[in-house]
């Protein structure tokens, strides 16, 4: 199972009454930490956990602490601080060097499962939502909020649905792209109406395969719930129609495979004088490599950065150093 929150909640929901459960949520970090505030973990009385709050170094101790929550049916806050030499973090060998505070809450019918069934419903409907934890009274039921307004006594966490990528073109080079997006846990819609393409056995990670032309999708609900789209049909007419269709979509990213001069041919074929949505073309980040797998990595890296609103630059600056 991947660590997308929707999938974690869904896994818990299917077994919510089969075991005792504890919800672990990071409520504060200082300095370096593997996960940030709002990350969640689900623990049951079989000794299983789903999700990660660290790189794996904290989870064993978190589970030990979670047993106390199951025994008392009361929430607790635990803290790991690598900045203090007498903290348990040193004994656990944690190397991030920061502080992490985690709220562990019993998760059961008595506290209305902390509203997680409603959260799941909203996320599956692809609605952004806000989740509030009362830090002054952590045994109270967590709430689903309508706004991001912070309250003095509450931690408000913004929850986003799983990223949804539409891929127009299902040839051989689309296979690693779909596989990698599947590893990320993304929702994947593959579109191609050509006979020899989009064979299901080659795309096991695809959420759905649509065997229709892009032109017929202009009023399809798909267009209103995608976050990103990749056009890689290797056919000017096919790509042009996909580009025209995507101009009225919800996509925050549209990428077109191929060099600049080909992009101009696609634009001319589509008869688009003014783009309502910008195009990333040539698509992807300049990572080097010309294998389909390298190209897929380049494409997904750029999409990930756009969706997360990051600049995709090196943390260490090593690329800049080597280039100079």
β-strand pairing of 49-50 with 40-44? antiparallel
Looking at residue 195, what is its pLDDT? Answer: 86
Looking at residue 306, what is its pLDDT? Answer: 97
Q: In this structure, how many other beta carbons lie within 10 angstroms of the beta carbon of residue 307?
A: 16
Query: Six-digit token pair at 265?
Result: 């041919």
DSSP codes, 61-83: HHHHHHHHHHHHT--EEEEEETT
Looking at residue 324, what is its pLDDT? Answer: 46
Q: Which residue has the tokens 């949804």?
A: 164
Looking at residue 219, what is its pLDDT? Answer: 87
Q: How far apart are CA 320 and CA 267, in angstroms?
A: 34
Looking at residue 193, what is its pLDDT? Answer: 95
β-partners of residue 169 are none
- Give the model confidence (pLDDT) of 124-162 as tens digits: 999 989 999 999 999 999 999 887 776 778 999 999 999
Give CA separation, 179 vs 206, 207, 295, 300, in Å.
8, 11, 13, 11
The CATH class given to the 164-307 domain equals: alpha beta
Query: Six-digit token pair at 219?
Result: 């009023």
- Give the model confidence (pLDDT) of 62-85 as tens digits: 999 999 999 999 999 999 987 665
Query: Six-digit token pair at 260?
Result: 């600049």
Q: How far apart are CA 148 and CA 131, in angstroms?
A: 9
Looking at residue 218, what is its pLDDT? Answer: 87
| Burial state string for 8-25 with b = 16 or more CB within 10 A and e = fewer than 16 | bbeebbeebeeebbbbbb
Spell out, as residue ranges, where the chain has pLDDT lower than 50.
Answer: 90-91, 321-322, 324
Spell out the residues 6+ positions from residue 261 whose beta carbon is closer than 8 angstroms to its own: none
Nearest to 24 by CA among 36, 38, 34, 11: 38
Domain borders along the chain are 5-159, 164-307
Looking at residue 85, what is its pLDDT? Answer: 57
CB 55 within 8 A of CB 105: no
Looking at residue 260, what is its pLDDT? Answer: 95
Nearest to 19 by CA among 102, 104, 109: 109
């Amino acid at each position: 199972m991947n660590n997308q929150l929707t999938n974690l909640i869904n896994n818990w929901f299917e077994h919510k009454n089969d075991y005792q459960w504890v919800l672990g949520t990071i409520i504060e970090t200082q300095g370096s930490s593997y996960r940030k505030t709002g990350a969640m973990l689900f623990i049951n009385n079989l000794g299983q956990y789903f999700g990660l709050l660290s790189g794996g170094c904290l989870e064993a101790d978190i589970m030990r602490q979670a047993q106390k929550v199951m025994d008392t049916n009361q929430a607790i806050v635990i803290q790991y601080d690598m900045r203090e030499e007498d903290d348990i973090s040193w004994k656990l060998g944690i190397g991030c060097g920061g502080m992490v505070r985690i709220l562990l809450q019993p998760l059961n019918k008595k506290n209305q499962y902390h509203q997680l069934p409603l959260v799941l419903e909203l996320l599956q409907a692809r609605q952004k939502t806000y989740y509030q934890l009362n830090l002054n009274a952590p045994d109270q039921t967590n709430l689903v909020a309508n706004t991001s307004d912070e309250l003095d006594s509450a931690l408000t966490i913004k929850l986003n649905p799983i990223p949804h990528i539409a891929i127009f073109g299902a040839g051989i080079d689309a296979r690693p792209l779909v596989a990698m997006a599947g590893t990320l846990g993304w929702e994947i819609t593959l579109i191609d109406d050509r006979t020899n393409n989009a064979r299901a056995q080659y795309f096991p990670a695809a959420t759905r395969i649509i065997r229709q032309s892009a032109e017929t999708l202009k009023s399809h609900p798909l267009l209103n719930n995608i976050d990103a789209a990749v056009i890689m049909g290797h056919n000017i007419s096919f790509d042009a129609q996909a580009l025209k269709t995507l101009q009225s979509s919800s996509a925050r990213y549209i990428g077109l495979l191929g060099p600049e001069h080909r992009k101009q041919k696609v634009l001319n074929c589509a008869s688009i004088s003014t783009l309502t949505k910008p195009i990333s073309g040539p698509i992807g980040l300049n990572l080097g490599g010309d294998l389909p797998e390298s190209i897929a990595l380049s494409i997904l890296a750029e999409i990930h950065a756009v969706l997360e609103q990051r600049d995709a630059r090196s943390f260490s600056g090593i690329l800049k150093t080597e280039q100079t």
